[in-house]
């Protein structure tokens, strides 16, 4: 599979998704109330503009899915996203977002930072002199984990979740 | 104007300008931190400040960050902000050839001059534009909003405008979510009570520009510095003087591009760069370490800052993504931008000019004096920086509304923006769509009611007809065959001019032509 065919395939998928979303928006807009019982002007009903947006999205998505994609520059190896880093960041980040509000903020942040160090600095932490690396990471985790919540709560007077 | 200067020239203001500009330079210098992200996060930290000081801090950070991005562009070949992408083309080759100090000095000086050119235009254009905007009715506002989406989609994704328009209309769709203003009917809320209030701009922007950037940075390989800084950083007066035409042209282009809704500093830099290359005596050097290219890009992007603030102040329509944050911050701090600002709050408009001038001056001083200390920032490990940025992305939207739901909104927009950015969809039209959605919706329905459904009424007034024509031209310009047709008169004139020159030129192989080739 070349970059160009991958790109074309991705464009088709995104285009079909946008066309589907546009169609749903259009149908949803048509089903919105017209408030005839309130003698509302038919030109101000809530669905009129969403119908326009939905129709345009459906058209643009269809055009993207059906067209011949313009040629793209082939990405060098260094430009391609590294899946390991991406999956690690996504997993940690989404878990953190899901738990905010359910777990006290400062402990959650400390666990997140420690997890981040374990995922992204495993070599440093298991190297020849791991004690210094572990001490450095622990200091960083402690400073940021307590520092940011304290800063927001005391200086900016924000009550954290 | 004098009263505004007196308001700005206080110890507190000068202190705030100094630290905020320096902080902006640091944000711009750190790969993975963009100006929009920095502004969105800083907005959440300005609640306790009075309105003038809050906007002063945000404007100074804006100016500093757009300039700060040139450091990484020159030394790492990674634009610190999208506005510095054109800077990297010539800045990095200059740094690799041992001229990093010269490149950094030129970028600093060009940025400061570009900023000042932009301020002069801001001071002259804003009152005029506000005056014109007073005659805008529903039809004009509707067309202005549509034009903003179309032109932002076209210019931020010039190779593939279709993708720019899709993100623009996607933004309009997100703006429709929640209770509409005319009949209080909740649209597309999917039964989620929190969506009744709509999608807030700050969480969407922090997600689209902050979280998506964290994801992109952590999935990229590390970059390495091009080399150390040796030699003189302050550029010679002669170099700047030789580029006077280039600087003025880039400043004017940058400001003009900045004024166009939603387009912003990156396009300002690219268009200035292209114009400099076109009129250069040595266009072949562009991309290989041309000082002309570097100066044009940096002048253009800093001039665009003032340009982007013009429509934000006078029409309440942002000229760029960072200006959209500024607009949101103005509303948060009880400043009402729009056509009436010159009547209701004229001092504030002039304060903005002076704040920008002070920030440009601070940027010049810090940029030239702190070049070497600022270099240390580029050595900060992303493994330390990115988790901090991520935590700020989570706290920032929450701090504004105290709603955990806004953190989920931020997460949704972060992942969506990351996926779309991987497929080369621009993000600026998405945010512009969210901002303009309500304006277009209300004015569309109001216009239809006024015209009683007569679509021709949308193009009967001169200004609305002009905007409609601009929309049509923008759409046609994206279609290659239509574009060729539109450009035909200029192309035929250009070929007429070139024809006699070709006849006059010496035959290939003569001494004259050899000399020209050698010079090239």
Give B121-149 pLDDT, tens digit per residue.
888 888 788 778 778 888 988 998 898 88
Q: Choosing among B218, B429, B452, which should be mutated to test the A contact, i.e. which has the most A CBs within 10 A?
A: B218
Reading phi first (left if > 0) and then psi (alpha if -120 to 50, else beta), residue B299 is in alpha
In the numeric block, the tokens 């990297």 are attached to: B88
The answer to whether residue B153 sits within a structural domain is: yes
CA B287 to chain centre: 22
Residue B514: the pLDDT is: 37
Cite the beta strand spans of B166-315 per DSSP E: 178-179, 186-187
**ipTM of the predicted structure?**
0.90
Task: Kindly state the average pLDDT of the residues B318-338.
Answer: 84
The answer to whether residue B503 sits within a structural domain is: no
Task: Kindly state the average pLDDT of the residues B400-408.
Answer: 86
Is pLDDT above 50 for B357?
A: yes
Residue B60 pLDDT grade (very low, low, confident, very high; cuts 50, 70, 90): very high
What is the three-class DSSP state of B307?
Answer: helix
Q: What are phi and psi of A31, to 5 degrees?
A: -85, 0
Lowest-confidence region among A23-27, B115-119, B227-231: B227-231
Cβ of residue A146 closer than 8 Å to a chain B Cβ: no
Task: Kindly state the average pLDDT of the residues B40-69.
Answer: 86
The answer to whether residue B510 sits within a structural domain is: no
Select from B170, B180, B445 the Cβ nearest to the Cβ of A57.
B170
Show Cβ contacts of residue A150 under 8 Å, excluding neighbours closer than 6 positions.
none
Determine contact, residues B330/B282, Cβ cutoff 8 Å.
no
Residue B168 pLDDT grade (very low, low, confident, very high; cuts 50, 70, 90): very high
Residue A122 pLDDT grade (very low, low, confident, very high; cuts 50, 70, 90): low
Residue B516: the pLDDT is: 37
Select from A10, A53, A90 the Cβ nearest to the Cβ of B176.
A53
For B345, counting Cβ atoms within 10 Å of its Cβ (0-12 exposed, 13-18 middle, 19+ buried), the class is middle
Reading phi first (left if > 0) and then psi (alpha if -120 to 50, else beta), residue B212 is in alpha
Task: Kindly state the average pLDDT of the residues B340-369.
Answer: 86
Give B370-403 pLDDT, tens digit per residue.
877 777 766 777 778 788 888 888 887 887 778 8
Query: Among residues B237, B293, B234, B260, which one has the least CA distance to residue B148?
Result: B260
Could you say which DSSP state residue B44 is in?
Answer: T
Residue B413: the pLDDT is: 93
Cβ of residue B375 closer than 8 Å to a chain A Cβ: no
Could you say which DSSP state residue B196 is in?
Answer: G
Radius of gyration of chain A (CA): 25
Q: Which residues of chain B make contact with A144, given a CB cutoff of 8 A?
A: 387-388, 391
Is pLDDT above 80 for A61?
A: yes
Strand partners, B186: B179
Mean pLDDT score of chain B: 82
CB atoms within 10 A of CB A161: 17
The answer to whether residue B447 sits within a structural domain is: no
A–B interface: beta-carbon pairs under 8 A: 154
The answer to whether residue B150 sits within a structural domain is: yes
Number of domains within chain B: 1
Give B177-214 pLDDT, tens digit per residue.
999 888 889 999 988 888 998 898 878 888 887 888 88
Q: Tell me which residues of chain B, numbers 230 to 289, contact chain A at a CB-CB cutoff of 8 Å.
A: none
Task: Kindly state the average pLDDT of the residues A11-28.
Answer: 94
Residue B306: the pLDDT is: 86
Contact B398 A159 (CB under 8 A): no
Contact B218 A85 (CB under 8 A): yes
Q: Tell me which residues of chain B, numbers 183 to 202, contact chain A at a CB-CB cutoff of 8 Å.
A: 183, 185, 187-188
Q: Tell me which residues of chain B, numbers 386 to 405, contact chain A at a CB-CB cutoff of 8 Å.
A: 386-388, 390-392, 394-395, 398-399, 402, 404
As a whole-number percent, the residues of chain B with pLDDT over 70 amount to 89
Residue A2: the pLDDT is: 62
Q: Which residues of chain B make contact with A97, given a CB cutoff of 8 A?
A: 394, 407-408, 410-411
Strand partners, A100: A103
Residue B175: the pLDDT is: 93
Show Cβ contacts of residue B101 under 8 Å, excluding neighbours closer than 6 positions.
B229, B230, B231, B232, B233, B371
The answer to whether residue B398 sits within a structural domain is: yes
B188 to chain A, closest Cα gap in Å: 8
d(CA B415, CA B247) in angstroms, rounded, equals: 39
Cβ of residue B480 closer than 8 Å to a chain A Cβ: no
Contact B215 A86 (CB under 8 A): yes
Cβ of residue A71 closer than 8 Å to a chain B Cβ: no
What is the three-class DSSP state of A152?
Answer: helix
d(CA B472, CA B469) in angstroms, rounded, equals: 5
Give B225-265 pLDDT, tens digit per residue.
555 666 676 777 888 888 889 899 999 888 888 888 766 78
Determine contact, residues B154/B413, Cβ cutoff 8 Å.
no
Residue B224 pLDDT grade (very low, low, confident, very high; cuts 50, 70, 90): low
Could you say which DSSP state residue B289 is in?
Answer: S
| Helices (H), ranges, B333-427 | 341-344, 346-369, 371-375, 382-401, 404-422
CA A107 to chain centre: 24
Residue B511: the pLDDT is: 37
d(CA B60, CA B70) in angstroms, rounded, equals: 16
d(CA B346, CA B11) in angstroms, rounded, equals: 23
What is the three-class DSSP state of B510?
Answer: coil
Q: Which residues of chain B make contact with A72, given a CB cutoff of 8 A?
A: 424
Look up the domain containing B352 and give its range.
Answer: 2-440
Determine contact, residues B433/B174, Cβ cutoff 8 Å.
yes
Residue B47: the pLDDT is: 75
Show Cβ contacts of residue B363 under 8 Å, excluding neighbours closer than 6 positions.
B21, B25, B63, B64, B67, B108, B111, B112, B115
Contact A64 B166 (CB under 8 A): yes
Tokens of B177: 């979510």
Determine contact, residues B356/B63, Cβ cutoff 8 Å.
yes
Q: How far separated are the first and last CA of chain B, in Å rounded?
A: 50
Give B263-295 pLDDT, tens digit per residue.
678 788 888 888 888 888 888 888 888 888 899
Q: What is the DSSP string of B205-243?
A: HIIIIIIHHHHHHHTSPP--------S--SPPHHHHHHT
Contact B162 A67 (CB under 8 A): yes
Determine contact, residues B25/B64, Cβ cutoff 8 Å.
yes
The answer to whether residue B448 sits within a structural domain is: no
Strands B186-187 and B178-179: antiparallel
Contact B185 A32 (CB under 8 A): yes
CB atoms within 10 A of CB A115: 17
Contact B449 A41 (CB under 8 A): yes
Q: What is the DSSP string of B117-164?
A: HHHHHHHHHHHHHHHHHTT--HHHHHHHHHHHHHHHHHHHTTT-HHHH
What is the pTM for the complete model shown? 0.79
């Amino acid at each position: 599979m070349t970059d160009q065919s991958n790109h074309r395939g991705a464009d088709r998928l995104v285009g079909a998704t946008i066309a589907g979303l546009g169609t749903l928006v259009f149908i949803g807009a048509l089903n919105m109330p017209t408030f005839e019982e309130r003698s509302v002007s038919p030109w101000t009903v809530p669905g009129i503009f969403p119908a326009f947006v939905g129709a345009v999205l459906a058209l643009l998505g269809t055009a993207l899915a059906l067209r011949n994609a313009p040629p793209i520059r082939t990405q060098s190896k260094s430009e391609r996203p590294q899946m390991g880093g991406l999956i690690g960041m996504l997993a940690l980040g989404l878990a953190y977002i899901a738990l905010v509000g359910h777990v006290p903020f400062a402990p959650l942040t400390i666990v997140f930072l420690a997890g981040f160090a374990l995922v992204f600095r495993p070599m440093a932490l298991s190297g020849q002199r791991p004690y210094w690396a572990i001490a450095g990471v622990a200091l960083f985790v402690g400073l940021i984990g307590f520092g940011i919540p304290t800063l927001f709560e005391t200086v900016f007077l924000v009550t954290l979740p | 104007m004098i009263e505004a200067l007196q308001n700005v020239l206080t110890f507190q203001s000068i202190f705030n300008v100094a630290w905020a500009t320096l902080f902006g330079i640091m944000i711009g210098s750190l790969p993975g931190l963009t100006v929009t992200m920095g502004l969105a996060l800083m907005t959440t930290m300005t609640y306790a400040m009075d309105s003038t000081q809050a906007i002063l801090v945000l404007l100074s950070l804006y100016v500093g960050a757009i300039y700060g991005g040139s450091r990484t562009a020159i030394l790492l070949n990674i634009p610190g902000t999208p506005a510095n992408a054109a800077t990297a083309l010539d800045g990095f080759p200059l740094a690799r050839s041992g001229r990093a100090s010269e490149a950094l000095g030129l970028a600093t000086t060009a940025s400061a001059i570009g900023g000042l050119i932009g301020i002069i235009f801001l001071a002259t254009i804003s009152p005029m534009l506000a005056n014109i905007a007073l005659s805008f009715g529903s039809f004009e506002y509707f067309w202005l909003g549509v034009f903003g989406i179309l032109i932002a989609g076209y210019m931020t994704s010039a190779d593939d405008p279709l993708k720019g328009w899709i993100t623009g209309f996607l933004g309009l769709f997100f703006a429709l979510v929640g209770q509409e203003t005319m009949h209080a009917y909740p649209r597309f809320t999917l039964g989620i009570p929190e969506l009744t209030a709509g999608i807030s701009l700050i969480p969407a922007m922090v997600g689209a520009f902050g979280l998506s950037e964290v994801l992109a940075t952590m999935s990229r390989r590390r970059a390495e510095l091009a080399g150390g800084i040796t030699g003189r950083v302050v550029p010679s007066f002669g170099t700047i003087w030789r580029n006077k035409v280039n600087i003025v042209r880039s400043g004017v282009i940058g400001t003009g591009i900045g004024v166009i809704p939603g387009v912003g500093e990156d396009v300002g830099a690219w268009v200035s760069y292209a114009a400099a290359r076109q009129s250069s005596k040595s266009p072949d050097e562009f991309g290989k370490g041309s000082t002309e290219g570097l100066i044009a890009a940096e002048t253009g992007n800093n001039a665009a800052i003032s340009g982007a603030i013009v429509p934000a102040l006078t029409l309440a329509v942002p000229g760029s993504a960072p200006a959209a944050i500024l607009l949101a911050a103005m509303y948060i701090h009880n400043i009402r931008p729009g056509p009436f600002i010159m009547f209701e709050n004229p001092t504030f408009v002039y304060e903005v000019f002076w704040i920008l001038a002070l920030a440009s001056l601070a940027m010049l001083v810090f940029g030239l004096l702190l070049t070497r200390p600022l270099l240390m920032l580029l050595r900060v490990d992303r493994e330390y920086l990115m988790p901090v940025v991520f935590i700020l992305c989570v706290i920032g939207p929450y701090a504004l509304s105290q709603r955990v739901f806004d953190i989920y909104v931020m997460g949704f927009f972060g992942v969506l923006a990351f996926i779309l950015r991987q497929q080369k969809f621009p993000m600026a039209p998405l945010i512009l769509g969210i901002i303009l959605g309500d304006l277009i919706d209300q004015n569309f329905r109001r216009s239809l009611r006024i015209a009683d459904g007569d679509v021709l009424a949308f193009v009967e007034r001169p200004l609305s007809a002009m905007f409609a024509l601009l929309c049509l031209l923008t759409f046609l310009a994206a279609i290659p065959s239509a574009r060729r047709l539109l450009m035909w008169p200029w192309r035929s004139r250009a070929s007429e001019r070139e024809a006699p020159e070709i006849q006059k030129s010496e035959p290939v192989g003569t001494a004259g032509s050899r000399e020209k080739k050698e010079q090239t």
